[in-house]
Amino acid sequence: MPIFGSMKLDILSHSLRIFLPVLILVAFSFLTTAAAEVYIDKAGRRVNIPSPPRRIVSLAPSITETLFALGLDREIVGVTMMSNYPEAAKSKPRVGNFINISLERVVSLNPDLVIGTADGNRKETVKQLEGMGLPVYVVNPGNLSEIFHMILSIGTITGRENEATTLVDGLQKRVERIISSLNGLKKPQVFFQIGINPVITAGMNTLHNELIQRADGVNI
């Protein structure tokens, strides 16, 4: 073989050794990006979420309960202190309480999705986690209808649309059964206590007030 032909082969072989790993990395990055979906959360933010996410951290007890109800037991890798329902939630790693989230603890769990709530989690927490490259999807249900919508949204971003639809249908039927069973009964006067020091109760335009009214009660 002519010497120049041999040199060309050597150069080509050397170039492949250098650039092939780079090409593989670029291709892998492209595939990873292509497997992600963009969603708009309740804070109006665009969030890139893997499809489906495999490691989820919940920043509120209600979110934790929803995730378990959708059959995402294995995907849940972190929850907050007060996440005690269902029973399996008690064995999940803790990332702090509802308001004070440990950023270090969240990052150490290597989540590919964090779900928080605007009504409780600090905006600073969401921004800091987002700045660390973690996708944070924010929910903000204010009434029963919005809770159903939250369940459907979480079902969508986690690839559990069918489970979410089934869950919401069942919950809506339960509400309808309760309402129909209360027809003609006397409306009880209700005091719903939320806090003790100071004493705090549920006012108007709250989820608690809506539930009391749907249960045919009168919020005093």
Give the pLDDT confidence of 155-171 residue by residue, as tens digits: 999 999 999 999 999 99
The DSSP line for 35-63 is TEEEEE-TTS-EEEEESS-SSEEESSHHH
Distance CA 190, CA 220 (A): 6
| Partner residues linked to 193 by β-bridges | 201
Q: What confidence score (pLDDT) does residue 14 get?
A: 45
Read off the pLDDT of residues 55-103 as tens digits, 9 standing for 90 and up.
Answer: 999 999 999 999 999 999 999 999 999 999 999 999 999 999 989 999 9
Nearest to 46 by CA among 160, 137, 163: 137
Q: What confidence score (pLDDT) does residue 48 get?
A: 96
| Partner residues linked to 33 by β-bridges | none
Q: What confidence score (pLDDT) does residue 120 get?
A: 87
Domain boundaries, the chain: 34-178, 183-219
Q: What confidence score (pLDDT) does residue 205 get?
A: 87
**The token pair that represents 121 in the structure block:** 């989690």
The DSSP bridge pattern shows strands 136-139 and 113-117 to be parallel
Q: What confidence score (pLDDT) does residue 29 get?
A: 43
Q: How far apart are the first and last CA of the chain?
A: 97
DSSP SS3 for 152: helix
Q: What confidence score (pLDDT) does residue 7 get?
A: 46
CATH 3.40.50.1980 at 34-178, yes or no: yes
**The token pair that represents 123 in the structure block:** 């905006």
Predicted TM-score (pTM) of the model is 0.80
Could you tell me what percent of the chain has a pLDDT over 90?
74
DSSP state of 201: E
Distance CA 76, CA 56 (A): 5
Low-confidence ranges of the chain (pLDDT < 50): 1, 3-16, 18-34
Q: What confidence score (pLDDT) does residue 41 get?
A: 96
DSSP SS3 for 172: helix
